[in-house]
Structure 1
Amino acid sequence: MMKNKVFGLGRNLSTKEQKEINGGISNCGYYARINLCFADNDPYCIPCNQIGSYPGASSCNNLDNGCFE
């Protein structure tokens, strides 16, 4: 019973969305659509030290220059 409740959370991703998340195609377009950004000085962005958790994000243009210092 509990297993069904846990697995019922969220929504199912399409095959295309799954490939984007798993690095099957460029993730930059996906990250741009969900307004994902990385910066240490912006409360609306994810801290730079967490970029490794997002495949391909380091090659996208949604990074603050401070992430490379």
Structure 2
Amino acid sequence: MARALSNMLFKGFRSIESTRIAASKRREEMERLEKERQAEVRSYKNLMVADKMTFNKDIASTHKSLQELEEDFM
């Protein structure tokens, strides 16, 4: 009986330990992803993307006047 109780306790502790390890790994992964996201935000990688750039020629062809452009902006 003592041996059965000992085995039950050991299995319980092992389960708790594996849960703690899994939580620790998840926390480390979340920290790593957050660091990567912060590094990307600080980088200039997305600053001058050609798809997001607007040229004066494009503005002139889509808007009749500067006032119309300002109205669309607001």
With normalisation by structure 2, the TM-score equals: 0.21
With normalisation by structure 1, the TM-score equals: 0.22
Higher RCO (CA < 8 A, seq sep 6+): 1
- Look at both structures and tell me which one has the larger radius of gyration over its CA atoms: 2
Higher helix share: 2
